[in-house]
Structure 1
Amino acid sequence: MIRIDDRLYERAYFEEAAARSVDAGLIDGRGRYAVCFAETADWLSLFFAIRKEGASVLPIHPGTPLPAARKLAVRAGCERLFYNSLTPEILQPDAPSDGEGQLLQMSSGTTGAPKCVARSWSEIDREVESYVRTFREPEEMTPVIACPTTHSYGLICGILVALKRGQTPVIVNTANPKYLLGKLREVERPLLYSSPAVLHTLARLMPAGEQIHAVMTSGTLLPDPWFSRIRAASRFMFQQYGCSESGCIAINPDVAAAGDMGLVLPHLRATAGRNLEHAGEIVVAADAESGTGAAIHTRDLGYLRGDGMLVFVSRMDDMINVSGLNVYPKDVEDAVMAMPGVTDAVAFRKSDPFAGERVGLLFSADETIAPQALRSWCIGNLAGHQVPMEILQVKVVPRQANGKISRREVAARHAAREFLPVEAAE
C-alpha cells in the first residue's frame, strides 16, 4: 500500500493499472519508456507496470515542460514518451531494445552536462536488499517522502525500501513547509525523506520544545549552521550518500557531523583518502566480495576513518586553487553562514590574473548586509586566501530541486551578470 497525500492506494490498484497497460499493448518487455505525469499515482502505476514487464523506464520530474521532457527522452534512447497521457508519443520507433530492463536516470549535471545512467532491475534489487538489511533503525518508523519520487532518493530509498520492509510509505506532494509539518504531526513515528533545504526550513519553523521524530538527508553536504539547526530539531537524524551510477553507497544511522556520510553498504567496496590532510577521490566497486566490477569514480574527495566512517570533504571540481593553496567551498560557506542574519551561501571559483583563481560568493540574508561588513566578518574567520574577492547578496541562492548547487552553473551565470543584487531585485 502507498498513501499519496490523503488517499490510500491498495496494491490491487497498481496491479490492475499495470494489467490494463500491458493488455492495451502500451508496454512490452524490451522497450525503453520515458514517463512524465503530474499525478504521482499515474506515474507510479506506469512505473510498476514497466518494471513488472522487465522493460526500461526513464522517470521525468513532473514539472518538466513537454519540449524538455521530449529532449530528455530522446537523449536517453527512449522509444516512447508518456506525458500526462496513456497515449504515448512515438519518439524513436527504431530505438534499440534492452536485453534486461533498466532504471534510467539523468545525472544531476552539477559538474557538466547531464548524462544518462542505466542500472538493471537486478542491481536495484540488490541495493534495496543491502539497504534494508543494513539500515535497521527505521523498521518501526513510517517513511514520509517529501521529495520527487522520480528521483532515486525518493523512488528507491523511500518507496521501494518501504515496500520491501512491508511499510506503507506516505508521499506528500507539496513543498509547503507548514502543510508538511501538519502531515508529520498526523503520522506515527515519521521518518522524513526530503532535501536539505526543506529540512532546514522546517527546522526554522519548528516550535520550541517540538521535534520531528526522524529525518533523512541526502544529496549535498549540509552547511554546519544548517546541520546544527536540523539536528536540534529532530530526535533521530540519518544521512546517506550515493551517486547515480551506484545508487546509495553509505548510510549514517546517527549523524554527529555534517561530513560523516556513513558506513559503506556491504554490497559495495569503496576506497578514499587516509585522512583530511590526505583526502582522495572516493571510488566505488560494485562487487564487495570479489572486488570486481567497473570502478565508479565519484569525483568526490573524502577519506575513510579507522571506524569505517566515510567522510566527505568536497567535490573535486569545486575545489578552488588560490596561488597554489586549496580552498574548499564548504569552509567559506560555513564561516559566512555563521554570521548573524545570513541564511544561505555558495562559494565558487573565479578567474584571477594574479592568483590564478579566487573565491566568489553569493549569499542570502534576512536583511540587507553591506558587502564590506561581510568581508570584515570573513577576514576575522577565514585565512587570507579563503576570503571572497567578490561578494553579492541575492534574494535566493540558486539550488536544484534535490537541494544541490551547481557551482559551475553559478559561476557561469555570475560571469554573465545574471544575478541581481538584492537591492535591484526588489
Structure 2
Amino acid sequence: MAGRSTSELLQWAAAAHARRTAIDGPQGTMTFAELGDRVARVAAGLRALGLKPGDRVLDLQPNRNTSIELDLATSWAGLVRVHLNYRLHERDWERIAEDSGAVALVYDGSFAARTEALRSGLPHVSIGDGPGVSYESLVDSPAMPYDVRDLVSLNYTSGTTGNPKGVRREHGNRMASMAAMGAVLGDVKPDAAYLHAGPITHTSGLFIMPALKRGMRQIVLPSFDVDAVVEAVRERGATHTALVPTMVARLLQAGVDSLGLDMLAYAGAPMPGEHIRAAHERLTPNLVQYYGLVEAIPPVTVLDAEDHRLGLTSRPELLASAGRSTGHVEVAIHEAVDGIGEVILRGPAIMSGYWSGDAGARAVRDGWLHTGDLGRLSEDGYLYLVDRKNDMIITGGYNVYPREVEDALASAPGVGQVAVIGVPDADWGQRIVAFYTGSAERGELDAFARRELASYKKPKEYRRLETFPLNSTGKIDKKSLREHGGEL
C-alpha cells in the first residue's frame, strides 16, 4: 500500500526500502529512511518560518539532492512548491513570484547575485553559501507529521499567450502520472537506478515518485554532461534515464556506444529517425518515447521499446508516432478535418485549472483539455502529432513562444519589425531564427538577446530583410518563412 498522496508514498517507501540507497548525488548519499527523516524535518523547519498550509514557496536550484528533498518536504508540510527554472531570466522569476503570490524562496547560494531583487521582499532560505536562513538549519527541527493538501505544486508554462501561467498540480495528478510511468519504466530489477541527467524541474522530475515507489536509487547529476552520463551508467550503475532529443544527439556525436541501459526514454520534442536508429543500435535497444504537457502530466501516450523495434523493422511509420494512451488518459481528436484536428485529453492526470485568469476555462471544456496540438489517431490507437495550433517553438526540449522573443528584440536599438520562427534542426529539434528589418548588426542583436533573454530562448540565427513577406491581411507571412526553411 503506497498511499494516495506523495507524502503517504514517501512514508511507505521510507519503511519498505529503509536501508537501500535512495539518493546518490552532488551532496552525497542517503538511504530511504534518512530521506524520510530529513523530509519530515525540513517540512517542520519551513513551517517554523511562519509558512502556513497552502502557502506558495519558490524553489530555485540546479539538480541537487535537495531538489528531490524539497519537492517532498513542501508536499509534506502542506505547502505548494513553485518551480523556478534556473535558466530563465530574472524578470521571468519575478513575474512568476508575483503571479503565484509566493511568500518564501528557497534558492541555491550560487544564485545570490541574481536573486537580490527577488529576495528583497521574501523570507529566503539558502542552500549552501548565501544570504538568508541556512537550509541545513531547517534539518535541526523535530520531525513533523505530514499535512497533505490537495494542491502540491504550481508548474509554470508560457502557454499560448506568451505569458507564464501556473498549472495547478494536485496529489491526484501526480499519483496518476506515477501509476502510468510503469509503462515507461518497464520491468525494474532490484538494483535499478534512475539517472537524473536533465533538469529535475523539467522532464526528469517526473520520475521522482515512480522511483520512490519502486525502491530505485536516484543518481543526480548537477547538469547534463556526456562524460558524466557515461560514468554514471558504467561506474555508478544507472539503469534508467530520460533525456530530451538534443541530449541523445550529444551522446551520439561524442561517439558513445554500448551503454546497455534498461530504459532510455526521450520526450519534449520530436527525434529524427536517423537519431532513433543510431540510439537503438549504439546506446540501447530499450528506447521509449512519451508525450504529455505541463497541463497533462506525462505520460499521456507511450511509444514503448517493442514499438521502436517494430518501427525499425516492419512498421517504419511508428517512429513518427507519439505512441498510444497508457489507459489513464483518454485521447481524442476534436473537430477533425481529413482525420486531423486538435488533440484533446481527459483523465486524472489533467490539471484542475490555471492558478490565475480565465485561461483554464478556455483550455478545459466539458472535462476535456484542449492542448493546442494538431494530430490524428490511427485505427490501432497511435497518436501522430502533425503540427501546433499556435507558433510554439520546441528547441532542445524547451518550449519557446515567439512573441516573447519578438517583443524583446523589437526593443533593441536599430530594429524595426521582427519575426521569429522555428526551423527543423537535427540537433535541437528546432532552432530559433529571428528575421528583422533595420540598421542593427547581427552581433549587436545577439549581444542584446543574451542580456534580455534566457539562453535557450535566444535565437541561433539572425537574418536582416529589406521587407517582410505579407499575407492578405497585411500581417507578416510566417508560413512563407517556414515554407522556405527560413531562406529568402
TM over 0.5: yes
Counterpart of 1:353 in structure 2: which amino acid? Answer: L
The SS at the match of 1:206 is coil
Equivalent residue for 2:193?
142
Equivalent residue for 1:16?
38
Is 1:50 aligned to 2:123, yes or no? no
Q: Which of 316, 321, 325 is the aligned partner of 1:264?
A: 325
Gaps in structure 1 of 5+ consecutive residues? 321-328, 362-385, 392-426
Equivalent residue for 1:25?
48
Is 1:180 aligned to 2:241, yes or no? no
TM-score norm. by structure 2 comes to 0.61
Is 1:316 aligned to 2:339, yes or no? no
CA distance in 1, matches of 2:200, 2:274: 28
The SS at the match of 1:113 is coil
Equivalent residue for 1:235?
285
Bigger mean CA offset, 242-251 vs 199-208: 199-208
Q: Name the % identity.
A: 19
Residues 280 and 189 (structure 1), Cα distance of their counterparts in 2 relative to 1, 3 Å cut? same
The SS at the match of 1:154 is helix
Counterpart of 1:25 in structure 2: which amino acid? Answer: A
- Kindly provide the CA deviation profile for residues 327-379 of structure 1, in whole angstroms up to 9, marking residues without a partner as x: xx99x737xx5xxxx98754879862368444436xxxxxxxxxxxxxxxxxx
Equivalent residue for 2:128?
none
**Are the aligned partners of 1:318 and 1:349 in contact in 2 as well (CA < 8 Å)?**
no
CA distance in 1, matches of 2:337, 2:216: 39
CA distance in 2, matches of 1:196, 1:169: 21
Is 1:297 aligned to 2:403, yes or no? no
CA distance in 1, matches of 2:205, 2:80: 15
**Are the aligned partners of 1:57 and 1:102 in contact in 2 as well (CA < 8 Å)?**
yes
Q: Which of 137, 157, 170 is the aligned partner of 1:120?
A: 170
Residues 312 and 193 (structure 1), Cα distance of their counterparts in 2 relative to 1, 3 Å cut? same
- Kindly provide the CA deviation profile for residues 370-407 of structure 1, in whole angstroms up to 9, marking residues without a partner as x: xxxxxxxxxxxxxxxx443626xxxxxxxxxxxxxxxx
- Kindly provide the CA deviation profile for residues 256-277 of structure 1, in whole angstroms up to 9, marking residues without a partner as x: 3443212212221110279995
CA distance in 2, matches of 1:269, 1:145: 29
Is 1:101 aligned to 2:151, yes or no? yes
The SS at the match of 1:199 is helix
Q: CA deviation at 1:28?
A: 3.3
Counterpart of 1:203 in structure 2: which amino acid? Answer: L
Counterpart of 1:19 in structure 2: which amino acid? Answer: R
CA distance in 2, matches of 1:111, 1:187: 43
CA distance in 2, matches of 1:250, 1:29: 34
**Are the aligned partners of 1:352 and 1:358 in contact in 2 as well (CA < 8 Å)?**
no
Residues 40 and 14 (structure 1), Cα distance of their counterparts in 2 relative to 1, 3 Å cut? farther
Is 1:286 aligned to 2:347, yes or no? yes
CA distance in 2, matches of 1:283, 1:122: 20
**Are the aligned partners of 2:301 and 2:324 in contact in 1 as well (CA < 8 Å)?**
yes
Counterpart of 2:371 in structure 1: which amino acid? Answer: T
- Kindly provide the CA deviation profile for residues 281-336 of structure 1, in whole angstroms up to 9, marking residues without a partner as x: 11001259xxx96211111111222222222222222499xxxxxxxx99x737xx
Gaps in structure 2 of 5+ consecutive residues? 1-21, 110-117, 124-147, 312-317, 350-364, 394-420, 436-467
The SS at the match of 1:352 is coil
Residues 167 and 231 (structure 1), Cα distance of their counterparts in 2 relative to 1, 3 Å cut? same
CA distance in 2, matches of 1:319, 1:51: 32
Q: Which of 204, 211, 214 is the aligned partner of 1:162?
A: 211
Residues 150 and 343 (structure 1), Cα distance of their counterparts in 2 relative to 1, 3 Å cut? closer
TM-score norm. by structure 1 comes to 0.68
Counterpart of 1:41 in structure 2: which amino acid? Answer: N
CA distance in 2, matches of 1:264, 1:79: 38
RCO higher in 1 or 2 (8 Å CA, sep ≥ 6)? 2
Equivalent residue for 1:409?
none
CA distance in 2, matches of 1:136, 1:44: 19
CA distance in 1, matches of 2:119, 2:429: 41
Residues 236 and 17 (structure 1), Cα distance of their counterparts in 2 relative to 1, 3 Å cut? closer
Bigger mean CA offset, 267-276 vs 172-181: 267-276
Is 1:216 aligned to 2:282, yes or no? no
Residues 276 and 171 (structure 1), Cα distance of their counterparts in 2 relative to 1, 3 Å cut? farther
Q: Which of 424, 434, 445 is the aligned partner of 1:333?
A: 424
CA distance in 1, matches of 2:388, 2:108: 36
The SS at the match of 2:323 is strand
Q: Which of 306, 309, 331 is the aligned partner of 2:379?
A: 306
Q: Across the two proteins, how many residue pairs are aligned to each other?
A: 342
Counterpart of 1:307 in structure 2: which amino acid? Answer: D
CA distance in 1, matches of 2:76, 2:428: 45
CA distance in 1, matches of 2:63, 2:256: 32
Equivalent residue for 2:108?
84
CA distance in 1, matches of 2:428, 2:173: 39
- Kindly provide the CA deviation profile for residues 44-81 of structure 1, in whole angstroms up to 9, marking residues without a partner as x: 33221111122211122345566643432222222222
Q: CA deviation at 1:6?
A: 7.8
Residues 245 and 354 (structure 1), Cα distance of their counterparts in 2 relative to 1, 3 Å cut? closer
